[in-house]
């Protein structure tokens, strides 16, 4: 948009449907959650998670092929979600 003349951004903004301009803005909810202090259950959950993940069987699982496949699928799923969100945001279809 930096290469556009002053009239082009205005025309571009006017071409975006009103429903998309008024759509909800995605916020960084994860950052907001981290800012809040953890309660007793949050601290207990973290403590149990740390204790379980430090066991020998958990370490063996983290090194296994199954865990590597799970991590690969998680990253692919996250990538797919982000690409889909970008396609929806850039879509000119009135149905979306």
Q: Is the pTM of this model over 0.75?
A: no
Q: Could you tell me the residue ranges of all domains in the chain? A: 7-90
Interacting residues of 12 by C-beta distance below 8 A, sequence separation 6+: 1, 4
- Three state DSSP letters for 28-59: CHHHHHHHCCCCHHHHHHHHHHHHHHCCHHHH
Span 18-32, pLDDT tens digits? 777 666 565 555 555
Span 9-63, pLDDT tens digits? 777 777 777 777 666 565 555 555 555 677 899 899 999 999 999 999 999 999 9
Backbone angles phi, psi at 64, to 5 degrees: -75, 160
């Amino acid at each position: 948009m930096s290469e556009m003349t002053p009239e082009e951004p205005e025309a571009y903004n006017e071409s975006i449907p009103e429903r998309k301009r008024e759509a909800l803005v995605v916020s960084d909810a994860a950052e907001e959650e981290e800012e809040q202090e953890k309660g007793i259950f949050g601290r207990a959950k973290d403590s149990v998670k740390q204790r379980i993940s430090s066991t020998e069987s958990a370490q063996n699982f983290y090194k296994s092929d199954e865990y590597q496949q799970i991590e690969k699928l998680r990253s692919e799923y996250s990538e797919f979600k982000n690409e889909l969100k970008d396609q929806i945001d850039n879509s000119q279809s009135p149905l979306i």
